[in-house]
Structures are given as structure tokens and as C-alpha cells.
Amino acid sequence: MPKVVLVHPQIPPNTGNIARTCAATQTELHLVAPLGFEISDRYLKRAGLDYWEYVNLTVHDSIDDFQTYSQSQGGRWIGFSAKATQNFTQIQYRDDDWLLFGCETAGLPDDVMQTCPILAYIPITQPAVRGFNLSVSAALGLFEARRQLGHLS
């Protein structure tokens, strides 16, 4: 099953919402520090509601630590970015993919994007809108991967 990775998330409610989505779908959630909040943050906990016990959460101290971990597990990094050139629906997802999303203010760091063999964007019709909310982007990416892989039952 694809895994969701948040690189340097900053806003607790977004991470809490993503954690709830991961709990509901039994999807691993990986957070890459530095984080813009403490894991014990009340807004993070509130957004995840009563579902934290169902979240398979791993926090990595740095992108290097995450890279070492993910390489030991196998799979591709798919970076989601407004700067990407491949529509996220045109990717052929695999069960071992890592879906990487950057922080709310800056997106994925350039050095992380350079490490991703695949970069995906989520189309936006209105040019004045820079991007979707992080929790919406993560849900869209995860559910497209799950749809293609037959995990929507």
C-alpha cells in the first residue's frame, strides 16, 4: 500500500486531518522533521479526533534519516508539487510508492524534488489559486493511488 510522507509540515490541523485519512485507510504516515509543531499539539490531536490510536505513524529526524529508512523498505518516491509536469492521474502507482508532500508554505524542498524519480501535480483550473490545502492534496494523491491499485473496497 502506498505511504504518505509529509516533509516539514507546519500546520497542526492539516497534519491531523491527514492522520485521520491515513487511519481510515490503514495507510502509513511518515513525518519528516523539522516539524512546525509538537506531536502533542492540541490542534494536531483535535484534527485527528479520536483516531490517533489507529495511525501507523513514524517520525524521522531528517530527510536523510527518512531516505535511509525508505531505501531499506524499497519503493519509489513520488513528489507532489505545483512545479511538477506530470498530472497525478497519469502516473501508474505501485503498492510500494512513497507519496511525498511538502510544507504548506514552501512545498517540497528543491533537493527533495531532485531525489524524486517522479514529480506529480494536481491540476488547478483557476490560475489565481496557487495550490490545494495540504490535507486535500494528500487525500487526492492517496485516493488516486488506491483507486488504481484496487484498494477502494
Q: Please give the pLDDT value at position 120.
A: 98
Residue stretches of the annotated binding site for S-adenosyl-L-methionine: 102, 122
Phi, psi (rounded to 5 degrees) for 6: -110, 120
CATH code at position 142: 3.40.1280.10
Can you give the residue range of the structural domain that contains 12?
Answer: 3-149
Residue 24 CA, chain-centre distance (Å), reads: 15
**Would you say residue 49 has pLDDT above 80?**
no
The per-residue pLDDT for range 54-82, each reduced to its tens digit, is: 999 999 999 999 999 999 999 999 999 99
Domain count, the chain: 1
The pTM for the full model equals: 0.93
Cis? peptide before 123, omega within 30° of 0: no
Residue stretches of the annotated binding site: 102, 122
